[in-house]
């Protein structure tokens, strides 16, 4: 038997906290706190906010499939934060916050999708037949 540390609803809360933190923080950072000299406001919004809007409905509905594929989107924010940590010392605090939020979303979404999928009897593997 697989014993999980947190309840499924706690994993969902962790994922949504990371998600909504990114959704609020990214435009705040890139437009207000440290505007880019090379990207326009519109470009910054499209590149760093629009991708987060794609899974919004499924995340709010608690769809485990949406939580699973939203991890592909959160990889954008992992890469952005790690790159910024490396190349822009002035924005390290903001990049660390982005990395924390992205990590929370990734962690919560991964385990929510796994355990909620199990609760619903969903699987991507075919079950082995008993002999």
> What are the boundaries of each domain within the chain?
8-120
pLDDT in tens, 73-91: 999 999 999 999 999 999 9
pLDDT score of 120: 85
> What pLDDT does residue 44 have?
86
3-class secondary structure, 111? helix
For 54, residues 6+ apart whose C-beta sits below 8 A from its C-beta are 70, 73
How do residues 38-82 score in pLDDT, each as one tens digit? 888 889 889 999 999 999 999 999 999 999 999 999 999 999 999
The residue among 37, 102, 109 whose CA lies nearest residue 66 is: 109
Q: CB neighbours of 107 closer than 8 A, spacing ≥ 6? A: 11, 14, 15, 18
Report pTM: 0.84
CA distance 55 to 57: 6
**Distance between CA atoms of residues 106 and 19, nearest Å:** 9
pLDDT of residue 117: 86
Which tokens sit at 86? Answer: 């490396």
Structure tokens at 95: 């990049």
Tell me what the mean pLDDT of segment 121-126 comes to: 69
């Amino acid at each position: 038997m697989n014993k999980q540390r947190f309840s499924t609803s706690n994993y969902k809360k962790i994922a949504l906290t990371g998600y909504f933190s990114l959704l609020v923080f990214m435009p705040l950072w890139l437009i207000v706190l440290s505007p880019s000299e090379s990207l326009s406001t519109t470009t910054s919004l499209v590149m760093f906010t629009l991708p987060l809007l794609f899974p919004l409905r499924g995340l709010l509905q608690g769809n485990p499939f949406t939580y699973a594929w939203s991890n592909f989107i959160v990889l954008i924010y992992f890469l952005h934060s790690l790159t910024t940590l490396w190349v822009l010392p002035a924005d390290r605090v903001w990049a660390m916050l982005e990395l924390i939020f992205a990590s929370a979303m990734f962690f919560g979404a991964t385990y929510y999708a796994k355990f909620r999928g199990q609760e619903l009897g969903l699987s991507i593997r075919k079950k082995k037949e008993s002999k």
